[in-house]
Amino acid sequence: MSQPNVSESPFRTIDLIRKKRDGGALSSAEIGYLVNGGTDGSIPDYQMAAWLMAVVLRGMTREETAALTHSMLHSGEVLDFSFLPARKVDKHSTGGVGDKTSLILAPLVAAGGLFVPMISGRGLGHTGGTLDKLESIPGFRVGLAVPEFHRVLKACGCSMIGQTEKVAPADRKLYALRDVTGTVESPYLICASIMSKKLAEGTDALVLDVKTGSGAFMKKEENAVFLAELMVETGERMGKQMAALITDMNQPLGRMVGNALEVQECIEVLHGGGPADLRDLCLELAAWMFYLGGASKTVAQGKQLSEEIIASGKAFDRFRQMVELQGGDISTIDDPARLPTADHRVEVRSRHAGYVTAIACEQVGTACVILGGGRERKEDSIDPAVAIAVHKKIGDQVSAGEALCTIHCHSDAQAVRARILLEESYQIAAAPPTHKTAMVHRVIYKGEH
């Protein structure tokens, strides 16, 4: 949808800011005008910021959210994978601690006959990023140009890359503005930001993993559900098959938090092992990807298919093939001990005997960032070797002095701040927690499954 530029436009920016400030709903043409003007610079940042703040305070209708997503999506290139001979599916997570499912899902679902063109992100705040994990594999290239992305997809059914300059440039501009004007926290703006990038991948179906709990951006379940429903509806309006799983992020997913060791844990799952929570969540998400992509008649069948593919070794083979095609050193995949490692260990021990009743999961993510496993500033580089190996999770019994987790680092001095954070993040009580929280809290999907 191309819009006239500011000088030829029938709209005045200030009128649109006032309209939103007073609780009105903007038309698609008005939203298109703002997005285009904000992206090409013809509307100044201070006016865009005023409009964004009005959206934060007044909200948007579903129609406005869809129009905003549409304009942001079409501000750049929309990839076309119609040449691929099967349906294309993807998964998006809102971000968590130890959340490494993408590395397992892409090859698993590709091995089941669907295509997975995955454009991923880097760590954000206390959460880890898929690209940072992949780059802990020596040589792995996440910056493929579109023709090479196509080649890898055709050859092995999946490819994982970073956002190109050409995809959703409006989001890049608006996100940078939101970041410094206190306007990130709006479900409408988050929905348009995420969905504009994901829809640009040109997939037929998208499964959303919307995290909730102490390690998620949406700490309250009701906020996670609201965002999930908004994203599902927005995707459906654009003709995509959509489902969202609201999943638990009250403790790290799996046992490892830190890039290279997370890759190692993914390889364990692809070989049929790995921690039960990580494996179970991957099976659930893959089942939905197969179902929405039309590779299984029901979600239950999709789950069975996923289990069979892992057991057959085909998912691991696809992962190995993708790593090779994207320049990664496959000797590290065949022998994960060759991935980057940090030789020093610092144990974080429990002061009391009892049961783990809660983990301040965001603090665990922050501890990893402080060690160098994430970025405190945009320009920071990542140390792929540092990590936190989590030994005790919610419900586990501990004795006094027993290790709750182990910090993998390069010296005692490096671990001081992370150790304090980790010690403080565990709650130990005399009695075990009274109920076990399910991994999938609920599913948002309109049809039968």
Interface contacts to ligand URA, rule CB under 6 A: 184, 189-190, 193-194
Set 20, 87, 92, 133: catalytic member: 92
> Which two tokens mark 137?
């594999």
Report DSSP letters for 321-383, one per residue: HHHHHTT--THHHHSGGGS----EEEEEE-SS-EEEEEE-HHHHHHHHIIIIIS-SSTTPPP-
User: Could you tell me which of 1, 19, 18 has the C-alpha nearest to residue 67?
Assistant: 1
Spatial separation of the C-alpha atoms in residues 166 and 188, rounded to whole Å: 23
Residue 150 is a catalytic residue? no
Residue 178 is a catalytic residue? yes
Nearer to ligand URA, 174 or 260 (CB): 174
The residue type of 200 is A
Nearer to ligand URA, 194 or 444 (CB): 194
Nearer to ligand URA, 76 or 275 (CB): 76
> Which two tokens mark 15?
């009128």
Nearer to ligand URA, 68 or 390 (CB): 68
Q: What is the CA radius of gyration of the chain?
A: 22
By beta-carbon distance, which residue lies closest to ligand URA? 193
Nearest approach, Cβ of residue 202 and ligand URA (Å): 18
Set 90, 99, 132, 171: catalytic member: 171
User: Could you tell me which of 427, 103, 401 has the C-alpha nearest to residue 250?
Assistant: 427
Nearer to ligand URA, 56 or 360 (CB): 56
Nearer to ligand URA, 218 or 256 (CB): 218
User: Could you tell me which of 220, 227, 211, 225 has the C-alpha nearest to residue 365?
Assistant: 211
Set 193, 196, 350, 425: catalytic member: 193
Nearest approach, Cβ of residue 227 and ligand URA (Å): 10
Nearer to ligand URA, 48 or 114 (CB): 48
272 in Cβ contact with 283 (< 8 Å): no
Nearer to ligand URA, 25 or 184 (CB): 184
Sign of the alpha-carbon dihedral angle for 231, 234, 237, 239: negative
Residue 193 is a catalytic residue? yes
Nearest approach, Cβ of residue 163 and ligand URA (Å): 9
Report DSSP letters for 42-79, one per residue: SS-HHHHHHHHHHHHHH---HHHHHHHHHHHHTTS---
Set 20, 70, 197, 279: catalytic member: 197
DSSP-derived letter for residue 129 is -
Long-range contacts at 370-379 (CB < 8 A, ≥ 24 apart): 370/417, 370/418, 370/421, 371/258, 371/407, 371/409, 371/414, 371/415, 371/418, 372/414, 373/128, 373/257, 373/258, 373/259, 374/123, 374/126, 374/127, 374/128, 374/129, 374/132, 375/122, 375/123
What 3-state class would DSSP assign to 121? coil
> Which two tokens mark 226?
């609201």
User: Could you tell me which of 127, 135, 189, 131 has the C-alpha nearest to residue 163?
Assistant: 131
For residue 47, how far is the Cα from the chain centroid?
30
Q: How many residues does the chain have?
A: 449
The set of catalytic residues is 92, 171, 178, 193, 197
